[in-house]
Amino acid sequence: MPDRRKQDDLSSDRDLVAQTAAGDRRAFESLVERHAAAVLRLATIVTDDPVSAEDALQQTFLSVYRNAASFRGDASVRTWLLSIARNAAYRLRTKHGQEQLMEEPLMTLGLEAGWGSDNPEALAIAAERRETLVRALQVLQPIDREVVILRDVEGLRGPEAAEVLGIGERALKSRLHRARLRLAAALRASSAGNPRDGEGARNDRT
């Protein structure tokens, strides 16, 4: 049943794009309603600025409205939209003069994430509070946040996420692995700097 529902969603998305290309305003509004949240999440991650993210959101759907007829159906509509959104967000990010940091060695990332003591990916999964995870994500560079968002939040498959990012699947796996390690390290640092409520209470009594 879930597979059938997913297939129906894909068909519906393609129908909405086709209807948008034919000038159907309601179909376009339905497309926006269905995918705006995902587009905005990715744009916010890339630009690291709410105002720029809103601009990227508007540019994305303006482009979709104008170029709906160019959608060939090689990928899902969601992948197509997120690719447009990412390009729009990076143009705005470049315009504001933001730069990416160079990659750290994998071994350094692993040690910071807790290799030899805890499973780094398990640290992220075991985060007790959503706020902690959100704060940890904010520590990451946009290039790391976007791959985590695409794979672990938006739920894109590997090939789809790779297409959005414009990289090969092998590169995607490497980037995702590094991003998850950095996220785990950020969670580890956050946990070390913020003791549990019980511990804080005991310290207050001493």
Q: Are 175 and 167 a contacting pair, CB within 8 Å? A: yes
CATH number at 145 reads 1.10.10.10
d(CA 33, CA 25): 12
- Which is more confidently placed, 108 or 201? 108
Radius of gyration for the chain, computed over Cα atoms and rounded to the nearest angstrom: 20
Residue 101 belongs to a domain: no
* 65 and 7 housed in the same domain: yes
d(CA 186, CA 11): 40
pLDDT digit string, tens, across residues 11-62: 599 999 999 999 999 999 999 999 999 998 888 888 878 888 899 999 999 9
d(CA 101, CA 95): 17
**How many C-beta atoms surround the C-beta of residue 81 within 10 A?**
27
> In the prediction, which pLDDT does 203 show?
45
Q: Are 164 and 133 a contacting pair, CB within 8 Å? A: no
Q: Are 52 and 89 a contacting pair, CB within 8 Å? A: yes
* 90 and 169 housed in the same domain: no
DSSP secondary structure, 83-138, as one string: HHHHHHHHHHHHHTT--PPPPPPHHHHHHHHTTTTS-HHHHHHT-S-HHHHHHHHH
Phi, psi of 74 (to 5 degrees): -65, -30
How many domains, the chain? 2
CATH number at 31 reads 1.10.1740.10
Q: Domain range holding 111? A: 106-196
pLDDT digit string, tens, across residues 82-137: 999 999 988 887 666 544 444 555 555 555 555 555 565 655 555 455 667 777 77
> In the prediction, which pLDDT does 45 show?
83
Q: Are 113 and 182 a contacting pair, CB within 8 Å? A: yes
Residue 33 belongs to a domain: yes
* 7 and 90 housed in the same domain: yes
- Whether residue 1 is predicted with pLDDT greater than 60 in this model: the reply is no
- CA atoms lying within 13 Å on the CB side of residue 91: 11
* 44 and 129 housed in the same domain: no
* 46 and 23 housed in the same domain: yes
pTM above 0.95, yes or no: no
Identify the three-state secondary structure at position 72: coil
Identify the three-state secondary structure at position 75: coil
- Catalogue the E-assigned strands of the chain: none
Domain boundary among 28, 60, 95: 95
- Whether residue 162 is predicted with pLDDT greater than 60 in this model: the reply is yes
* 76 and 114 housed in the same domain: no
> In the prediction, which pLDDT does 110 show?
58
- CA atoms lying within 13 Å on the CB side of residue 111: 4
